[in-house]
């Protein structure tokens, strides 16, 4: 496959050339936005049923992450987490057990959210790729549906990440080493230590080099259509065939979003001649990840990054690739 090599990406970009767009959500799906105070003062904290031991709350998770970031960066500003929640769990206090729902008073209602995702953006640490400003971003996910709350207290599961957020579209750019997708801890102190460890081990320079490399290569419209076709075929391959290929996690719904946005996206659609560079393909893929539920969003995002890296590695080293040939 003959690929189009773009101009070198190391170029001087005037700050005035960077366009600022209205803020969008980092995840959509079925989520709503809440603030930290709401989680702290208006939501109950689930417990492990057999011993009544408290779980680590959403508020404590976000607060702990914020404190680690402030400590590592010696940050003097005000960090404002963006928080999205889903799967609202409603309840009531014991004295209101027999009341009709429409007669419940506010203080008689209880509430918590089964799933929560948040990001903490640090605009003072940023990079520019292809005219897009990327801000360093740290965040995490908590899904109570992954806990056995009917048992005794056990290790609790979290997901934490460090990477960049594209300010043009709020797409998250997360590398494989920037995500800890199955973190299990028993205390807040242990949680903070793991967040500290992830941030310290994050290979920021290597991540940025790989992101910049995406701008160097493009596909023609026919080549892009071929790529999409192979991606659609992938789920129907035999188990043996899949084991030899990159484990693509992009589903058919996401693919349809990518195809639509290839034609219509305001920032990452095809060029006038139909070509599209891999930076744009990557952003179309991460944009499509916003349609995933909170508990699978980060994994799909990282899978998109790994997939693009796999394609570029094949191109650079002239290695045959199922998705390209």
- Quick one: pLDDT at residue 95? 85
* Cα-trace Rg, the chain: 22
Which DSSP symbol is given to 167? T
User: How far is 132 from 252, CA to CA, in rounded Å?
Assistant: 28
CA angle 20, 162, 60 (to 5 degrees): 105
Please list the pLDDT of the chain residue by residue as tens digits (325 residues). Answer: 444 434 333 333 333 333 344 456 787 768 899 999 999 999 999 999 899 999 999 999 999 999 999 999 888 888 999 999 999 999 888 888 888 888 888 888 899 999 999 999 999 999 999 899 999 999 999 999 999 888 999 999 999 999 999 999 889 999 999 999 999 999 999 999 999 999 999 999 999 999 999 999 999 999 999 999 999 999 999 999 999 999 999 999 999 999 999 999 999 999 999 999 999 999 999 999 988 888 889 999 999 999 999 999 999 999 999 999 8
191 — alpha (psi -120 to 50), left (phi > 0) or beta?
A: alpha
- Quick one: pLDDT at residue 4? 43
- Quick one: pLDDT at residue 9? 32
């Amino acid at each position: 496959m003959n690929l189009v090599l773009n101009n070198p990406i190391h170029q001087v970009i005037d700050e005035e050339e960077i366009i600022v767009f209205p803020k969008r959500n980092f995840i959509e799906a079925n989520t709503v936005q809440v603030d930290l105070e709401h989680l702290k003062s208006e939501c109950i904290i689930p417990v492990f049923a057999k011993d009544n031991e408290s779980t680590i709350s959403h508020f404590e998770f976000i607060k702990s992450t914020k404190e680690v970031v402030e400590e590592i960066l010696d940050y003097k500003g005000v960090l404002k987490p963006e928080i999205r929640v889903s799967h609202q769990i409603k309840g009531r206090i014991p004295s209101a057990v027999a009341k009709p729902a429409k007669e419940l008073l506010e203080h008689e209602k209880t509430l918590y959210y089964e799933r929560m995702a948040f990001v903490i953006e640090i605009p003072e640490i940023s990079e520019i790729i292809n005219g897009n400003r990327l801000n360093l971003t740290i965040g995490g996910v908590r899904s109570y549906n992954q806990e056995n709350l009917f048992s005794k207290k056990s290790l609790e599961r979290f997901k934490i990440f460090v990477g960049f957020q594209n300010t043009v579209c709020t797409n998250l750019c997360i590398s494989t080493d920037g995500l800890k997708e199955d973190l299990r801890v028993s205390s807040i102190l242990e949680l903070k230590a793991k967040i500290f460890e992830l941030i310290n081990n994050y290979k920021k320079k290597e991540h940025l080099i790989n992101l910049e490399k995406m701008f160097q290569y493009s596909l023609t419209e026919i080549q892009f259509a071929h790529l999409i076709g192979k991606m659609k075929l992938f789920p129907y391959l035999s188990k043996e065939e899949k084991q030899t290929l990159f484990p693509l996690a992009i589903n058919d719904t996401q693919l349809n979003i990518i195809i639509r946005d290839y034609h219509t996206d305001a920032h990452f659609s095809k060029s006038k001649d139909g070509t599209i560079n891999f930076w744009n393909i990557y952003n179309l893929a991460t944009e499509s990840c916003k349609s995933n539920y909170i508990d699978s969003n980060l994994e799909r995002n990282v899978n998109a990054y790994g997939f693009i890296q796999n394609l570029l590695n094949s191109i650079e080293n002239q290695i045959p690739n199922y998705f390209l040939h």
